[in-house]
Amino acid sequence: MAKIKSFEELKKIKDQVQSKVGLREKGENIDNLIQIRVAMATCGIASGAREIMNYMIDEMTSQGIENAVVTQTGCMGYCYAEPTIEVTTPGKEPVIYGDVTKEKAKEIIDEHVIKGELVDGIIPMTHKTIDQ
C-alpha cells in the first residue's frame, strides 16, 4: 500500500472505500429509507436477479441516490415473474414488480425511487413480507 501523502488523498480513499460500510450505516437509519429488495432465491438468480441487483446498485451509486438501499430477500413466491423486486417507501405499502429487466429497473429508479411515482409491471400483493 502506498503512503497517503495528503489530506486530499485520504478523502479520495474514503470515497473509494465508503461502500464498505455504507450499507451498514444505512441499517442504522433503515426506517427512513426506500428499501429495494431483490428476490435472490434460486429461481430469481436463474432468471437474472443477480444482474438486476448489481445494475440497480451501480445505477443508484452513479446517480448518487442516498435515500434508498438495495438488499436481498428470499423467494417471494412469484417464480413465474422473476426477477421480482419489492420497493418499500417509508410509511407506504410495499410494491412488487415482476419480470424486471434492466430497462424496467432504470424506470423504477427514475420514477418510483426518485419521484415516488409507480410504474407499470406491479404484481398485486398476495403475500406478507418477512417483517410482518
Site for other proteins in 1-60 (CB under 8 A): 1, 3-7, 9-11, 13-14, 17-28, 30-31, 35, 38-42, 45, 50, 53-54, 57-58
Q: Which string of DSSP letters, residue by residue, matches 9-55?
A: HHHHHHHHHHHHHHHHHHHHTGGGSEEEEEE-SHHHHHTTHHHHHHH
We find the least distance from the C-beta atom of residue 80 to other proteins, in angstroms, to be 18
- Considering the rule CB under 8 A, would residue 76 count as an interface residue with other proteins? yes
Amino acid at 15: D
We find the least distance from the C-beta atom of residue 56 to other proteins, in angstroms, to be 9
We find the least distance from the C-beta atom of residue 75 to other proteins, in angstroms, to be 7
| CA gap 36, 38 in Å, rounded | 6
Can you read off the three cell numbers belonging to residue 78?
412469484
Peptide bond into 124 cis (omega under 30): no
- Residues forming the site for other proteins (CB under 8 A): 1, 3-7, 9-11, 13-14, 17-28, 30-31, 35, 38-42, 45, 50, 53-54, 57-58, 69-76, 130-131
